[in-house]
Amino acid sequence: MAMDETTSVYDVAVIGAGAAGTSAAIFTARAGLRTLLVDAGESGLVKAALYNHLGYERVSGPEFLQLAKEQARAAGAEFVEARVTGLELSSSGDRVYSLKAENGQEFLARHVILCTGKSLDLARQAGLELTAGRERKYPEIIKVDSDGRTSLTGVWAAGAVAGASPHTIIVAGDGARVAINLLSELQGKRVVDHDVLPVQTPAATA
């Protein structure tokens, strides 16, 4: 384990690197927040073939996951493969969360976004309020407000685990939406992440 992982505090820890989590991490990392993305490697996407994700005629689930993780890394997120089994406030006095992984690693983060798909284990362990879900395969979900905040201050949730319709384009959008809401809360104003094409000079286009 790198020293950093135990001694320094991430701004945001995103738990779950499916479409929701990778998308959330891309936005928080691009905004300059030190972002940790942790994943246990059990996204439903490993068995999926996607024909309904805008921008791809067809892409396999594993390829999509790989591209998404690479994009999150390129944006600056640190990716760790591990299962987080404990989420609680650390004893530091500040509002910093301690995330304990099955393999003994510990991470500290000021904000957490749970994107754990079908798994409510961590939400239950942390004592988050749950509620009935309306999607057939997600009968129970994490209770969130309209911005994605859970019942624990500083802990947010996005994607299928928070009730988004289980389609990659929808959960990816939900991860981005919740990340933007978190960033907007931190900055005290609505955040927009837009890039523009560089101006093409006639010489460059010739």
Ligand X SMILES: Cc1cc2nc3c(=O)[nH]c(=O)nc-3n(C[C@H](O)[C@H](O)[C@H](O)COP(=O)(O)OP(=O)(O)OC[C@H]3O[C@@H](n4cnc5c(N)ncnc54)[C@H](O)[C@@H]3O)c2cc1C
Smaller CB separation from ligand X, 32 or 49: 49
Q: How far is the CB of 128 from ligand X (least distance, A)?
A: 13
Collapse the DSSP code of 172 into the 3-class scheme (helix H, G, I; strand E, B; otherwise coil) and give the result: helix
- The contact set with ligand X (CB under 6 A) reads 15-21, 38-45, 47-48, 50, 52, 83-84, 115-119, 121-122, 159-161, 166-168, 171
Smaller CB separation from ligand X, 116 or 150: 116
Smaller CB separation from ligand X, 60 or 151: 60
- DSSP secondary structure letters along 64-92: HHHHHHHHHHHHTPEEEE--EEEEEE-TT
Smaller CB separation from ligand X, 136 or 198: 136
Q: How far is the CB of 187 from ligand X (least distance, A)?
A: 25
Question: Which residue do the tokens 């209770």 mark?
Answer: 143
Distances (CA, A) of 6 to 85, 99, 100, 107: 16, 10, 10, 6
CA distance linking residue 182 with residue 28, whole number of Å: 9
Q: How far is the CB of 90 from ligand X (least distance, A)?
A: 18
